[in-house]
Amino acid sequence: MQTRKLGNSNLEVSAMGLGCMRMSHDEDPLPDKQEMIAFIHTAVERGITFFDTAEVYGPFINEELVGEALEPFKDEVIIATKFGFNLGEYGTHHGLDSSPERIRRVAEASLKRLRVEAIDIFYQHRPDPNVPVEDVAGTVKDLIQEGKVKHFGLSESPADLIRRAHAVQPVTALQSEYSIWWTTIEENGVLATCEELGIGLVPYSPLGRGYLTGAINENTEFASVDIRSRNPRFTQEAIKANRVVIELLQRIGTEKGGATPAQVALAWVLAQKPWIVPIPGSRKLSHLDDNLGALELELTPNDLSDIEAAMANINVVGNRY
């Protein structure tokens, strides 16, 4: 397995991670827990050492799943989780909350659910307009000094907040949506800020919530709990209109000797910077192996400029949320 370092940190992880959210979230019925544990074990056997979860996934049960599955390997893997929501005892959602006392409570609960002595990366899940980011960074800094957290991360934060947080406690990783069809972080200064400050980028939805695999068409039906059932980019009209992106990925894949659309899409993300580690979510071994095949696919500068020129002429239909 190839490895990458997240920015200037000494944190080395597999060049591709695994997003675990949909193993116990936004699904009806939920996947079988024992099957998901076996799947995570297979991912470790394949060389994946970087796993992503959050308190809000489930809520709570995704961390429990990841903690149970990875307990036998906890000295060999990196587990990232997130805080930032006000969840009631039974997981009822009361909006954002990154208050220092909330962060501390979440840290203690996540440590128990993940069955670890320290959280490898603790991300703020979303910026909280009611709490200065300096207070957030300061609280995580205290948790690092106490040995409960190893690295501080942010998710979906704008460039100015990244700078302010980083000045208090160095940010190891920024999680953000980033893919061949959603490149806003290139335009709003976030990617450049990560590069300047030496922060690793961890793209979620690098396969466009499954669309960029080419397996979704206008007849695909989504469960009511699935985020895509109410996502503007997954209306029948948008799915049909955006087919042109899949055709581009298929063309490049054919030119590269039969690579799948998913492999081209992931190889594109990997080729952008050496400190980018995507975390596609998968629950099927065939998808996992297909994704890992992207690590063997080298896109040349000509391939990348070809893709960039083609995407510049494509108007992607539908907002991402």
pLDDT tens profile 25-58? 988 899 999 999 999 999 999 999 999 999 999 9
Beta bridge partners of 151: 121
What pLDDT is stored for residue 194 in this prediction? 98
pLDDT at position 89? 77
**Residue 141 burial (C-beta neighbours within 10 Å; 0-12, 13-18, 19+):** middle
CA separation for the pair 136, 167 (Å, rounded): 12
Question: What φ, ψ does residue 6 adopt, rounded to 5°?
Answer: -80, 100
Place of tokens 């893997």: 77
User: Encoding tokens for residue 23?
Assistant: 């193993």
Label residue 132 exposed, middle or buried (CB < 10 Å: 0-12, 13-18, 19+): middle
Catalytic residue (one of 57, 123, 178, 211): 57
Percent of the chain with pLDDT over 70: 100
Mean pLDDT for the stretch of residues 240-263: 97
Reading phi first (left if > 0) and then psi (alpha if -120 to 50, else beta), residue 203 is in beta
The structural domains of the chain, with segments of one domain joined by +, span 3-210+272-295
The mean pLDDT of the chain is 96
What is the pLDDT, as a whole number, of residue 94? 85
**Residue-level pLDDT at 267:** 98
**Domain 3-210+272-295: which topology?**
TIM Barrel (3.20.20)
- 119-124/93-96 β-pairing: unpaired
The model carries a pTM of 0.96
For the segment 122-131, the average pLDDT, to the nearest whole number, is 98
Q: With pLDDT > 90 as the criterion, what percentage of the chain qualifies?
A: 94
- Does the active-site annotation cover 57? yes
Task: Provide the 8-state DSSP code for 15.
Answer: S
